[in-house]
Structure 1
Amino acid sequence: MSKVKISRIIIPSTILYAVFIFHLSLTSNIGNVKHFLDTTLGHATKEILINSHLSFVLNFLEYSLNFVERQSIDPGHFGIYFGLGILLYLAFLSSGNYVMVKYSAAFAIFTGTVYGILNEVFQMFIPYRVASVADALSNLLGLVLAQICIVTFILLWKEIQKRRNREEEIN
């Protein structure tokens, strides 16, 4: 069995995710999606956390959500663009282009921000939809946080690998 290049999976996944975002941004009625996330997925997650004695996680998530909403940051935009930021980073990382690989985080933030702004502009022409600077900023924050999480994860992973290698050399 031949090995599949990771870019053949990541790039189409990123494109499909971007199409999904575009569809959501142009749909005038996304109440069903919000209802599903709030009731179906939200209640299931809440029950799992409570039954697992992790109610402190639930309290933290509720506090965080309320804080974010008070700051006029849309948690939906933030979360969706966080996911896009991760996929964009992986797409640039798997591109094989030295510059894109080296600056994957910067390219992901730039590309995702341009995409988010274009989506906001398109919303001006859709009935019952409104373009907003707050949504564009929520998109940007999601992209930036995704890059921070990825870079932090990579740095921690490299440190763990270094420690394992040192321990193997000692033994």
Structure 2
Amino acid sequence: MTQKQQAGSGAGRKSGSPGAVSRWVQRKMNARMNRKVRRGRGTFMGMDVLILNTVGRRSGQPRQTPVAWFPDGEDAWLVVASGGGGRHPDWHVNLMAHPDRASIELPGRDTVPVTPYRLGGADRERAWQRIAAAQPRIAKYQSKSDREYPVIRLAPR
């Protein structure tokens, strides 16, 4: 067996596997977006972006994830846990595991400790309608998934 065949066999997959490469690219893109938000440029593809600070569910390590947000009144933010359509994103799992350790960073503002609330029923529907009106591509994205994307309200703690 050649080295190339061995590398693709699945044994000892780490940096050479497609999933590892994809995660590496995602980490690089997230780090770049985080730098942009911290420099005061918090938009991407026409959406406002904040940095969501969570703690890893298993590792306990700090995590920083750029996510699109939508206003919910004057002092709260809505985020959608789409995660590529198929499953909840890691940040959502971490947020729900350690809700008391969450905070956000917005361009031009200090870090704000927040409490996450997963919206359900009529509250979720009202929030979803506002989100879909602001960004129709999110509604289109949702329509292609078999699961309902969680909508999380982040309120200052």
- RCO greater where, 1 or 2, for CA within 8 Å and sep 6 or more? 1
More strand by share: 2
Work out which of the two has the higher radius of gyration on C-alpha atoms and give 1 or 2. 1
TM superposition score normalised by structure 2: 0.30
